[in-house]
Each structure stands twice: as C-alpha cells, then as structure tokens.
C-alpha cells in the first residue's frame, strides 16, 4: 500500500516492523481494512481486540435497514432453510482459507433444548 504522497509502496509487514517495531507473527492472516476507499488503512488481525459489548452507534442507511429487517423477521423454518442453503452454497469444507485457519462448519444444525416463553403482559 502507498505510505506517502510520492506513492512509495510497502507491505503491511514492513510498515509495522519499521514504524512500530512490531513483528507480525501471522503473515498469512488477512488484514482488516478500516478507513475508506480514498484512504484505506490496513491493520493486521493480530493487533485487534474485540471488546465485549462494543456497539455500533452510526445510523444505518435504508438498504442496510431493509436487509436487516428481511433477515431478522423470518419464520424459524425459513431461517433454517436459509442457513442450510448458505452452508451448502459456501462449501466451507472445500474452502482453502477455512482449511488454512482450521475453521470447520457443520452441515447440520445444532440441537438445543428450548421452551416457548409466555407473551409479556403490559
């Protein structure tokens, strides 16, 4: 990626070693792109920490709201079908990246005990 106005290119590994004295251990892991398309910023996954309870406070656009409602307002049978269809379509067992990271996705849904709660009274 370019590191200055002259367009000097450096790899993320070189940049972190020279700038922060940090030696990236997992060079095969993908970077997370933060920033925007005009000024991308690439950060190695091993320097990130996901904080529990972290919230996304920006407003969603109309397309995002529509997509979110479509996914969250499904009947259980529809959701089950969509999940199984996605797992089959993505073929995680054949995916080289999933294999490289040791990710295994079951083709069967997990079975859990549950109960139906009574509706709340107002």
Confidence (pLDDT) at 115: 93
Confidence (pLDDT) at 122: 85
Confidence (pLDDT) at 98: 84
DSSP state at residue 59:
P
Cβ burial, residue 104 (10 Å; 0-12/13-18/19+): exposed
pTM, two decimal places: 0.41
Question: Mean pLDDT, 10 residues at a time, over the chain (122 residues)?
Answer: 76 86 87 80 84 82 90 88 91 86 88 92 88
Confidence (pLDDT) at 84: 92
Map residue 31 onto helix, strand or coil: strand
Beta bridge partners of 89: none
Map residue 42 onto helix, strand or coil: strand
- Where along the chain do its domains lie? 12-47, 62-100
């Amino acid at each position: 990626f370019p590191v200055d106005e002259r367009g000097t290119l450096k790899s993320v590994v070189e940049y972190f070693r020279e700038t922060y004295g940090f030696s990236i251990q997992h060079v095969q892991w993908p970077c997370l792109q933060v920033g925007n398309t005009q000024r991308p910023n690439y950060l190695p996954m091993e320097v990130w920490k996901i904080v529990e309870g972290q919230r996304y406070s920006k407003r969603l656009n109309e397309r995002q709201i529509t997509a979110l409602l479509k996914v969250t307002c499904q009947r259980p049978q529809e959701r089950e079908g969509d999940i199984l269809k996605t797992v089959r379509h993505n073929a995680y067992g054949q995916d080289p990246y999933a294999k490289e990271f040791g990710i295994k996705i079951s083709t069967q849904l997990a079975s859990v005990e549950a109960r139906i709660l009574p509706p709340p009274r107002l």
